[in-house]
Structure 1
Amino acid sequence: MTLTTDDFDFHLPEELIAQTPLLNRSASKMMVLSKETKTIEDKHFEDILNELKEGDALVMNDTRVLPARLHGNKEDTNAHIEVLLLKNTDGDRWETLMKPAKKAKVGTVISFGDGRLKAEVTDILDHGGRIVEFTYEGIFLETLESLGEMPLPPYIKEKLDNQERYQTVYAKENGSAAAPTAGLHFTTEILDKLQSKGVKLVFLTLHVGLGTFRPVSVDNIEEHVMHKEFYQLSEESANVLNETKEKGGRVVAVGTTSIRTLETIGKENNGQLKAASGWTDIFIAPGYDFKVVDAFLTNFHLPKSTLIMLVSAFLGRDFVLEAYNHAVEEKYRFFSFGDAMFVKK
């Protein structure tokens, strides 16, 4: 049976979309779903300490979100332009999205922060994006940190008071346009407790693109083309994960970004992992055979999104929709700043 995008729709009351992070990162609720028993349990995130066992490996994406939204003015007319950085293409050249785009012709120079940072439009892309070249004094990332805002997803309307709350506590590698939000629940205390219990903490990098929030625009999901995202797995991490598998431990991924990285590498090598980096556009939907991941932590995702399709590939669509309807009834908080879901075999 061919599945359509509408097969992954569900009713979500707008008031359940979390607009701000909780005061304490780990205070969220956590739904625990078992593939084998088809059970739904309502727990709290700190119960992750009981769900993970000695010998398991917890795999986290250490990407760091760039404060990639800039507000500037055209040098010639002083007109306001909003610039969203998508990816660094070469040196000081970046692919961006602009609003209003029609005012940003080739040759346009935009000034930010009284001229501390300037961008010249050098090219216009087919999808309407702009390539810009930045000029500045000093270090680009430091300038960006002082001038930019976090590019929060479009469903979050509230202003974020503390920008660090849209970063995981282990964020390190600059490059994402959005946070790997399943990791936002962890505190250093919980990670320390897991390590003391004998859970191995393993890191990889996948820089999250804004395509994550793009709805699937085709009816037949098999026709959907994923956006490409950069990933990296070190030899050390690959060795720890292979050893975990050999000894009967579970590979537990934090978030769909970690899943996509592990499965991209694992499907090339029949489940074995090796040091690798590159661009992945893997699309995981029902019918996919997981090669590496045994369990995972995730948040609650948008209707009709590739992310709910990925969870359905592991658990089955009907069970996932049952769980989501239960989450709505129990008033779980949804999306980036929302509650967690722990999925196991």
Structure 2
Amino acid sequence: MRQVKIESSSGVALLSYTISTPKANDAETIDPSLPTIILLHPVYVSQHIFHYQFASPDLRRFNLIAVDMRSHGNTICTTPSTYRAAQAADDVFCFMDALDLPPCHLFGVSLGACIALEMAVTRPERALSLFLLSPLSLTEPDFVAAGRQEIYDCWTAAYKNPNNVDEDAAVEAVLGAVQLGFGESSRSSFCNSIVQHALMCSPHLWSRAQFDEMHTVSVKFFLDRHPYPVSSLRKITCPVHLVHCSEDVAYSLEMTEEMCAHMKTAGIDVRLSQIANAPQIGCATHPEPCVVDYLLYCPRPEFWSFCSGSTSFSSNGWCPLLATTPQYRPLRRPLRRLSKPSSSSAGSHKRSRTRKTTTY
């Protein structure tokens, strides 16, 4: 995995990233003749979450770039307490400058979707399109905020004494994060390997010395935000595709519809789709619908294979039996319905199964 040094408003960072082109899994530079997609990961996990996107013959016809944000993956840095969407977007702009990237298409998941949206608002000339999977609601629901704080509290309780780790508290923290991101899909070997990989990175990311940084990226980042005013959204000049995952336990379809309506008020070219039976991190469980379909005019590459990240996944228990089949497309796994927040905790945002929204 490659690294590049940046210096942004949040300080110096050595960002870990991967570039793939139609002809190379691990390329040094992009192919300037092709569109470029930057993939921005959600909280707790790193760029490895996009393994299936790098393995897709539909997406591998483009330049694909995934990057580990601050306090995630193999990126080396400190994270200031002021780190929010604006600072994260500035990191990505500096990353684009460091690699001399042209304007890009942005593919963001949850936290990554928040960063992508901020980029399109602050520097619209750098964003060609937004594909926002499981975007955050306009404001953080109280029950989700409480859940994020509880995950943090369990983690810090577990590791406050590194010589005597509280295993029960550690398990509670991990289970909370897994339930938020994957729900019942966490039972698959692939999702389990993602979790194991994240835990391998956690000692140098969220040890006792980094508790404050963990709280910044996993709690403060989500709570300290407000809806964009219409005047700010009007700065967005690219098309936006909002994609809701039906089994997202944090953000309901109604919340995403509210965001869509807010964007339409600002005159944005926006549409909304839903992936049935998918958890919040649907790109890892239902990769087939996660395609930036308005870019598919490019021909498929003659040869493609899984990106190099599969090695670390295999070492963590994933067995990709069909990985050598050139036209293999991951099968969808049926998911059992997750328990939803009670009406008292979810407020007015109750789920509805009768919405006329595009469903894959």
TM over 0.5: no
TM-score by length of 2: 0.28
Q: Comparing both structures, which one devotes a greater share of its residues to helix? A: 2
Structure with the bigger RCO (C-alpha within 8 Å, sep 6+) is 1
TM-score by length of 1: 0.29
Determine which structure has more spread, i.e. the larger CA radius of gyration.
1
Q: Comparing both structures, which one devotes a greater share of its residues to strand? A: 1
